[in-house]
Structure 1
Amino acid sequence: MSDIDQEHRRRGALYGRRKGKPLRAGQAERFDTLLPRLKIDLTTPAPDDLRTLFGAPVDEFRLEIGFGGGEHLLHEAEQNPKTGFIGVEPFLNGMAKALAGIDERKIPNIRLFDNDAALLLDWLPPGCLSRVDLLYPDPWPKKRQFKRRFVSPENLKKIVRALKSGGEFRFASDIESYVEWTLAHVRAQPALQWTAEKADDWRVAWAGWPGTRYEAKAIRETRTPAYLIFRKI
């Protein structure tokens, strides 16, 4: 077990290394060939200039925590070629889908991390990110599981540290209790300010939002998504 995996286990990670369907040959090959080129290595110090992590010229940086199948991550990277994207997803099948999309669409401005996002947030230099996205995270719906939700006082401090002044933390969920949980925790974090001024600011998806398969399922099942934006002040 690597030092990163040991730290992941010691901290009681909010995400586990889970795999669903067996990987196909092409997916497994990308894990062996493409992922090592794109994966961020936390065993080395973070560079002062994150541009050195990317093979494409970029001038700002965003982080997506738990990108699922990668629909949003890949869309945003293609729409914003001058932005460097870091995507975090510990689930192997989700990572496999993202690797396939990056490979097939030749997207140069994405780097990946396949472990606990809290470890990556600790590694990043302060004030380096213009945005952090947490979209439809695991809601851990039972009360005894709430402590495993990614939104927590500790992780919000990590997000604030990594965001530059004026940077945004974006959160989307269809689980009402998690939305209320997030609003309550952010209100207790003075460095983050909710930007909503009217109901449509959280009821209507953000401009340019491509949607995700999970969101479509939630809407089919009559759960109403909420879209929250918090700005670092």
Structure 2
Amino acid sequence: MSETGKSAFDPNPPRRNFYGRRHGKTLRHSQKGYLQEDLGELRPRGITFDENPERRPISLSAIFGDDRDVWLEIGFGGGEHMVHMAASYPKIGIIGCEPYINGVAMLLGKIRQAGVSNLSVHPGDARDLMDVLPDASISRSFLLYPDPWPKARHHRRRFVTPEHLLPLARVMRPGGEFRVATDIPDYVRQTLEEVPLAGFDLVSETDRPWDDWISTRYEQKALREGRMPHYVTFRRQS
């Protein structure tokens, strides 16, 4: 893989560790129903080794039924932003990744309530999805209030490291937009240092959200606790 992530598709991704929670408090009966009844239909096929032992690139047109633009949300939390964007841009296909199963269940409930149909849900690590996304297939990506991993020895676990950013750069289209929102100043620092090295140009860094933004529970918590949100926009280099 090149330093800017513009390599060929890798059929043999490395084994990797996962840090973070996969399960939380006991799911409500309705949430268990969402997982049993809805997740299978929304989950993109060909991500796991059992489904795709040759690790061939998956077909996004097969997921959404046409050649529409596709966006990627990395860690969608409770799904507020993802459903809002799906409703606001019905002609866009959006794939969301989230390994925390409680968040997946919350998203599925919101999808039912909103009645949106242009979403696909990967209930796992975004790196596994990026392993099998085609080159230059994503036109916009979102990293919103990611786990800050505040201890210095854990900064290598943050998403804004080469392990994550180079695969993201590979799957982003030239000119594609990468949005980052966080309330942690040191996360902003690392983002501004690392993302350009992966092949992105800084467009803006501000305390004002994007015009199509919807406030999430994580942002509201940050504001209640007196932390200032930052909104950073990058563009994938040609």
- Under a length normalisation based on structure 1, what TM-score does the superposition of the two structures give? 0.88
Q: Once superposed, what is the RMSD of the aligned Cα atoms?
A: 1.9
Runs of 4+ in 1 over 3 A off after TM superposition: 7-10, 44-48
Partner residue, 2:153:
144
Shift of 1:10: 4.1
1:54-77 CA deviation, whole Å, 9 max, x = no partner? 26x561000001100000000000
1:181-192 mapped onto 2 (5 Å cutoff): 181-189=190-198, 191-192=199-200
Q: Percent identity?
A: 42
Residue 180 of structure 1 aligns to a residue whose secondary structure is helix
Q: Does 1:107 align with 2:116?
A: yes
Give the C-alpha shift of residue 46 in structure 1.
3.4
Q: Indicate whether 1:46 and 2:51 are aligned.
A: no
Measure, in 1, the Cα distance between the counterparts of 2:134 and 2:196. Answer: 25
Q: Deviations over 1:187-224 (max 9, x none)?
A: 323x200012xxxx511101111111110110111111
Aligned counterpart, 2:175: 166
Matches within 5 A, 1:88-127: 88-127=97-136
Report the AA paired with residue 219 of structure 2.
Answer: E
Counterparts of 1:159 and 1:181, CA distance in 2 = 16
Report the CA distance between 1:47 and its aligned residue. 3.5
SS in 2 for 1:188: helix
Stretches of structure 2 lacking an aligned partner (at least 5 in a row): 1-11
Contact 1:186 1:192 in 2 (8 A): yes
Find the aligned partners of 1:87 and 1:14 in 2 and give their Cα distance: 18
SS at match of 2:206: helix
Letter in 1 for 2:177: E
Paired AA for residue 184 in structure 1: E
DSSP-derived class of the 1:195 partner: strand
Q: Deviations over 1:109-133 (max 9, x none)?
A: 0000011101111110011111110
Q: Partner of 2:105: helix, strand, or coil?
A: helix
Distance in 2, matches of 1:116 and 1:8, equals: 13
**Alignment partner, residue 17 of structure 2:** 12
TM-score under structure 2 length normalisation = 0.87
What amino acid maps onto 1:24 in structure 2?
Answer: R
Measure, in 2, the Cα distance between the counterparts of 1:124 and 1:230: 20
- Native 8 Å contact 1:54 1:108 kept in 2: no
The C-alpha deviation readout for 1:151-199, integer Å capped at 9, x for no partner, is: 111211111111111001111100001110111112323x200012xxx
Pick which of 25-34 and 70-79 moved more.
25-34
